[in-house]
A and B are shown apart, each in its own frame.
Chain A
Amino acid sequence: MDFSKSSLAIKRWIYTSLILLFFIILIFGFIQLQVSNKDVYVLKSLNNSIRKSQLYAVRGLIFDSKGKIVVDNRPSFSLAIIPRVAKPYTIKDICNRFHLDYTKVKQELKKTFGFRPIVVARDISQESVIWLEENRLNLPGIINVIEPKRYYAPGVKSPHIFGYVGEVTQNEQKQNPEYEQGDLIGKKGLEKKYDMRLRGSKGVKFLTVDASGRELGKLDINRDIPPVHGNDLQLCLDYEQQAFAESLMTEINGALVAVDTKTGGILALVSKPDYDPRNLSGKISSDVWSQLLNNENHPLYDRALQNGYPPGSTFKMVPATAALQENIITPNWKASCPGYFRLGRKVIHCWNLKGHGTLNLTQAIKYSCNVYFLQLGLKIGLETWSKYSELYGFGRKTGIDLPGENKGLVPSVEYFDKRYGKNGWTKGNLANLAIGQGELLITPLQIAQYAMIIANKGTYYTPHLVKHFYDYKTQSFENYPIIEKRVNEISTEVYDVIRNGMKEVVEGGTGWLGKVPGIEMAGKTGTAENPHGEPHAWFMAFAPYDDPEIAISVIIENGGHGGATAAPIARKFLEKYFFGHLIPRVFAKPDSNTVEEKKDSLILPMDIINIQPLKIIPQKEIHNQ
């Protein structure tokens, strides 16, 4: 080969230029990355090594009116997977151990990529936490995270007031963009109504992490944003009173609502049957859930404000008010009750088959005479009846601070025309409505509000559970706005007559078992026919008579006569409210209980002025059709 010096020199320079070219290209590449695009890569590198970790705010506590904590938080352990780190077979193992659906978990993990832990099982047992910690090294990417869960003080139940919290669904996320995947939000009750207040605001913690997602420590405390504790709620009710009310309703299907007539504050709100809210805190087992859903008594349903019932005789003050206010009758207008009423070809019986004789309005209320009110109803007509029903707040929501309230149903002329055709409905429908039957649906809460209106002679307040909030951000209390409303269309004189009638009800009338000794009060019984068995028993009351402070409504589904079953419950509640204990009954046997009282209720009190026989078999209030 030719190995002359000149040819070598040329080859050397050719090769040298080639090498130089390569190096220039390389250096150009570095300049582009490190000078031209430096900022982009600095940001990327920061994002790489810094994990923005969310700090969950403490959910606001719930206090009762006495300042006792009724709903609190406790830590619970959740199983979480870091998608980027966890190996498929590890995930499979974990799924087997915790009885999770592998394909579902995989789908869940696919939604995000990276180092953000995804919670796959909530509220795992203590043993599982220990097992996870022991096997930490063998389970890369599997961690347990501490999440708060609702804790209810011992003896606290009231699921229909508090509701429960659960993981946000995609639908809920769409409705409220503030919700993020995996958030725990209020699903029912106060938790739902005040979710935005209770949840507080999340904080952010910046952590340095390595490529495996391991947290190495805090980046810079000054950049962190601390979470803000959710608002605390203080309720208007004394939980002792509420718990007592719940105990009165044990093993009963029904509801009890007591309201402070001076503010509208709810003093008790019971719906039975209910469930233990602890079962829906943290992990909800599907067994418990399906049991609750499929239970024929519907424990998830809040009867106090979601269920409309026919109000029965408690409604009689509406036609009475209408007739007086419209000057259709005077308080002294009398009607005679022979025990039945003939309407066209139909005969409607009074609950007292022997008849009440001739009564005025006060007596008609006192003895809840159907025949009297049937006649009155025909006199006032449907239009006036509807108008006064609405004045008393029926057919619209009360505006209580709980979600899912039912507005009930007050039929109007238009409603009947639509339903039965222009001339398809008869006087029978109207007569029915006058005694609180027929197409009339009223919630127990509305009855309580109705009692409050009568008690205050027209003034009433929006019912509400919350007295005030404590805002941790401003560190101040914020009162729940008390909204005063007034029924101006009804004069004081009319209220006086109605109230007097209601006072008579408990003073030896049908509601005598509702009378609290030593307290002057007023009430009204109701026995609402329903196609499913025994009639529903109603009782409503307010007390004290002259300066009312509490109004109450009680319904017992299929409880029979209102005066017999509902009134004693209201009485006991009020005794506890006024005196802090029950007052022994002079009429009842020493070991009296509800069963005994049912027997007692067959006997009217001794001081009755009526000529009616002492022993009566309770009848259904009407014998329609």
Chain B
Amino acid sequence: MSLAELNARLAAKPAAELRVDGLSVTYNTARGPFHAVEDVGFTVPAGTNLGLVGESGCGKSTVVKALMGLLPEGTGLTGRALLDGDDILGLTDDALRDVRWNRIALITQSAMNSLDPVYSIGDQIVEAIRAHEPVGRATAWARAEEMFALVGLPAARLTEFPHMFSGGMRQRAVIAMALALNAGMLLADEPTTALDPIMQSQIMARIRGIHAHMRRSMVLVTHDIAVVAETCETTVVMYAGKVVESGPTGQVLGRPLHPYTMGLQNAFPRLPVRGAPRQPLISIPGVVPNLASPPPGCRFAGRCPFAADLCRTTPPPVAAAGPQQAACHFTDRAEEFRAAAALPETWRKMRAAA
């Protein structure tokens, strides 16, 4: 198969749709079961980007691992993840081989660890292409050169090894590799964390470009809500293993219903506006509960300035306001909470009580 034929064949792949439903993941640890993810559900319509946000330990990376079939053996896994209608959870190794890279590709968090140090980067991309497409080495190499051009790396550097690349270049190489087979669904797990802002902005410009140029679907996992605001149509906010809020990005980040989302929003550093009073930066007091023994009611109750007795005893129902949904007992008071959450005193009182 020639390069033109290969490109035409890959370009014909449609963007994928992903429906995750009732996903729960339980790690078995020496100290007993650990419910990292509980009853998570979301839908990525074909050709759109979904942002999965939350702080460390909220289970967002576990969701990615479950989707890629990367969880350790013996991990409890329930629910469904339908990729264009096919359930991709708990597949056998053989079946997974057909799905990974080909239909769903991963841009990992630490580019250093996801490249093999003893093979040249070109060889690694060629290997991924040839594992899925019946092409010769020369054709696969030519495809790899095109992918490098796409992410702004010189083709001559394909022969180099990972250690010869800077952090930002490695991250771009990983993106090139994830794009090589034009999978319908991309999972990007913290693709820019630990990079400085200039590099982050360059990488995100490229990732956004993929979306516009190739019409792929993407799940972007990050703790940076501004990156989500600039990139994703849909936002899903996770806290302590559960989805607390989801919906169209403009609504979730613009008019949040859940106090946790309000907290995240106020904790985000903004540029000062000259003349205007400086907006206070407000942190969310307390720490994420231990998921080995999660609290009986709302998991955010311990850190929530608006928590009532009901919140500490009864898990909140999911309330919907149009396409926006939040797991909170008091979504009807969201307007009032938003005003209070913007004041540092509201959260400071919590800290004093904690």
Tell me whether A and B are bound partners.
no
Q: What is the interface of chain A, defined by CB distance below 8 A to chain B?
A: none
Q: What is the interface of chain B, defined by CB distance below 8 A to chain A?
A: none
